Amino acid sequence: AASITLDGIGKRYPDGTEAVRGLSLHVDAGELVVLIGPSGCGKSTVLRMINRLIEPTAGRIMLGDSDVTRVDPVKLRRQIGYVIQNVGLFPHQTVAANVATVPRLLGWSTDRARGRVAELLELVGLDPAQFGRRYPHELSGGQRQRVGVARALAADPVVLLMDEPFSAVDPIVRTRLQEEFLRLQAEVRKTIVLVTHDLDEAVRLGDRIAVLSEGGRLEQYDQPAVLLGD
Ligand code: ADP
Ligand code: ADP
Please give the pLDDT value at position 87: 67
Please state the rounded mean pLDDT for residues 123-149. Answer: 91
Task: Name the pTM for this structure.
Answer: 0.84
Q: How much is the pLDDT for 188?
A: 84
| pLDDT per residue as tens digits for the range 44-61 | 999 999 999 999 999 999
**For residue 195, which of 89, 51, 84 has the smallest C-alpha distance?**
84
The pair phi, psi for residue 41, each rounded to 5°, is: -85, -5
* ipTM of model: 0.72
Return the pLDDT at 73: 84
- β partners of residue 222: 209
Q: Which residues line ligand 1 (CB under 6 A)?
A: 13, 15, 17, 19, 37, 39-45
The pLDDT of residue 1 is 79
Residue with CA at minimum distance from ligand 2 atom 10 = 140
The 80-84 sheet, strands edge to edge: 80-84, 159-163, 191-196, 32-36, 208-213, 217-222
Strands of the sheet containing 66-67, edge to edge, are 18-27, 4-12, 58-63, 66-67
